[in-house]
Amino acid sequence: MNTELALQIQAWIDGELPPDERQRIAQRIASDPEANALRLRLEQTRQLLAGNESTPALPVTPDYFWSQIERRLASADVPPPAPIGALAAGWWRAWWKVLAPAAILVALVPLLLRNQPALEPRSAHAFEYSAQFEVASEHPGSSVITYQSDTDGLTVVWVDTQ
């Protein structure tokens, strides 16, 4: 049995169906044993609930009960709603916490980059080196080669002993 048929049987029991559908479901219940079994279970459940349902009772009269609730609400310290201008100011303060650091960063980036040396493009044939090579040897079969470049700030000493 599908869920739609089960809900229609429940609506039939509760008297919530129009007359034409009510008659169609009654015929279905009479011809389908599974639908009839569901009808019996739902009717038994309805009878059990109706006979054992407790009615809630207030220890005081309803008028007194609701007047106490109203009195407590009136005496509660509830701040009045904020005016619309205050809401806009709160919104601006929240964004200012984000925008102020971002604005400072944007202002500082050009200052930091201004002092950086500009990179000059060099062509593949325009390498300029000021370097010195020195070959010295005091012992036969060994040599010392010194390379020094002032532009790169580099000095290399190669000692070759054979």
Look at 136 and 73; give whichever has higher pLDDT: 73
Backbone angles phi, psi at 147, to 5 degrees: -120, 130
- Give how many domains the chain has, as a whole number: 2
Residue 87 pLDDT level (bands cut at 50, 70, 90): low
Most distant CA pair in the chain, distance: 124
- The answer to pTM > 0.75 is no
Residue 144 lies in a domain: yes
Contact 145, 135 (CB under 8 A): yes
CA distances from 109 to 80, 102, 119 (A): 46, 11, 17
What proportion of the chain, given as a percentage, has pLDDT over 70? 72
- Give the domain range for residue 46: 3-52
Residue 47 lies in a domain: yes
CA distances from 83 to 79, 90, 91, 95, 116 (A): 12, 11, 13, 19, 51
